[in-house]
Amino acid sequence: DQQVKQNSPSLSVQEGRISILNCDYTNSMFDYFLWYKKYPAEGPTFLISISSIKDKNEDGRFTVFLNKSAKHLSLHIVPSQPGDSAVYFCAASAYKSFGNEKLTFGTGTRLTIIP
Amino acid sequence: DAGITQSPRHKVTETGTPVTLRCHQTENHRYMYWYRQDPGHGLRLIHYSYGVKDTDKGEVSDGYSVSRSKTEDFLLTLESATSSQTSVYFCAISRTGVNTEAFFGQGTRLTVV
């Protein structure tokens, strides 16, 4: 049962354009969401997060949008740069009950920025 | 960078042998996690720890055990390695476990032949 889903395994975007990565979740208890970026042969690195009390969080070129009613979040990268080429993982956690202090990850989307 | 060290970084082992992977942190974070990464599955939680001697299972815990005798060390043991456990293993740490990010180590590539 995949509680966090990234339905696009790969995405190619021209340099300078907007990259939009999508993520859907099924567990209504999730209330904190994160995006991680992963380069080959390295561990994932934290990119940006959003709490369920917000619908948008912005950090430089990266913006995460949360639509709780649709159980959907997206990561926007503007403008896209060659160094953004990586695998992006969406993750979620549920705060409200003990035993849920862990992240559930999606399957990842490989983003390729075309120069 | 968060102070997380995984050892070994690469290992090849034979089916049926026990294997132990080590995660060491210098951040004094309470929570530690072991994930495995496989194509088409993303990152899946094996076990996690919320304190010394306090551990719990993740979604893919069968065939794995963990121990945490000190805050800084979290060991993952494959009791009897199988080819299905060939994977990249990541350790992660988190200060509070909730509403905060986890920091990952560099990973251990394990091949079971």
pLDDT, one tens digit per residue, over A22-68 is 999 999 989 899 999 999 999 999 999 999 999 999 999 999 999 99
Binned at pLDDT 50, 70 and 90, residue B98 comes out as low
What H or E segment, with its residue span, contains residue A2? none
Nearest CA to CA, how far is A111 from chain B (Å)? 15
Taking alpha carbons only, the member of B33, B40, B43, B23 closest to residue B88 is: B43
* pLDDT tens readout for residues B3-14: 999 999 999 999
Please indicate if any CB of chain B lies within 8 Å of the CB of A44. yes
B18 exposure class (CB count in 10 Å sphere: 0-12, 13-18, 19+)? exposed
CA-based nearest residue in chain A for residue B55: A99
- Residue A78 near residue A61, CB atoms below 8 Å: yes
Q: Give the integer Cα–Cα distance in Å for B53 and B41.
A: 29
Chain A contact set for B104 (CB, 8 A): 36, 43-45
